[in-house]
Amino acid sequence: MRRLSLVTHFFAKHRVAFRYACLLIAFVIGTMDVGLAKEKTEKVKLDTIVADFTRKDADGESHALYKLSEDKSATVVLFLATQCPIATDYVERIVALVKTYGEKKVQFIGINSNKQEKIEEISAYNEKHGFEFPVLKDPENKIADYFGARRTPEVFLLDGKRVLRYAGAVDNSPKEPTKHYLKDALDLVIAGKDIPKVSKKTRAIGCTIKRVRKTSVDRTP
């Protein structure tokens, strides 16, 4: 009983200090959690500079964003897939865009972030459809996470200073589009004009990117 009395007396005497210590511990843990959350969800925002990254293509050759986009009027980062029928619907339009805007110093960079699509499959798909631009494998979908890409196809347009100017869909329909979002944005960026705020972001149409499960709580968006 005496021991219990001594313990009670100690906590009563140091109650304020003990309370502040608990609050301090809770604050430190909370700050750590916030920091980890920010690190996990960090992604590029519209009208900010895109960070450099390097990934390998199907032939094992490394390509860096900043090197590919050097001296270009614009760069289109394009998330693709081999097993998505909607992405395949866009193949002819993508090839046509690459041909038209390649003459205007626009660089296209394909990114494949689907965990189940293998290098050999990507290589065969690129050759079959005549892709004359690098398609890089994103094995841990870190590039997809950084851009916040969720579907294929989904595009992210960078200007000559590598500032993200447009994000979203190529156009408004896989079959018969009436609005050409990427083309319109490209024309404005190449001309050095601003993209209207309402046109800076659209909802991509396509299959979800099949991500690598990083933790027990991760889910494919």
Cis (ω within 30 of 0) for the bond into 134?
no
Q: How confident is the model at residue 42 (pLDDT cuts 50, 70, 90)?
A: confident
Domain boundaries, the chain: 2-41, 54-208
Residue 110 neighbours by CB under 8 Å, 6+ apart: 78, 79, 80, 126, 131, 133, 134, 135, 136
Q: How many residues does the chain have?
A: 221
For 138-162, the pLDDT digits (tens) are 999 999 999 999 999 999 999 999 9
Q: For the domain 54-208, what is the CATH code?
A: 3.40.30.10
What pLDDT sits at residue 6?
A: 45
What pLDDT sits at residue 213?
A: 82
| Phi then psi dihedrals of residue 167, to 5 deg | -145, 135
- Token pair, residue 92, equals 């002819």
Q: Are 76 and 170 in contact (CB under 8 A)?
A: no
- Token pair, residue 126, equals 């690129």
Per-residue pLDDT at 25 exceeds 60: no
What pTM value is reported for the model? 0.79
The rounded percent of the chain whose pLDDT value lies above 70 is 78
CA 128 to chain CA mean position, Å: 26
Q: How confident is the model at residue 172 (pLDDT cuts 50, 70, 90)?
A: very high
Alpha-carbon distance values, 44 to 28, 145, 198 (Å): 27, 9, 18
Determine which helix (DSSP H) or strand (DSSP E) holds 21, and give its type and residue range: helix 15-41
Q: Apex CA 109: angle with CA 142 and CA 78, to 5°?
A: 70
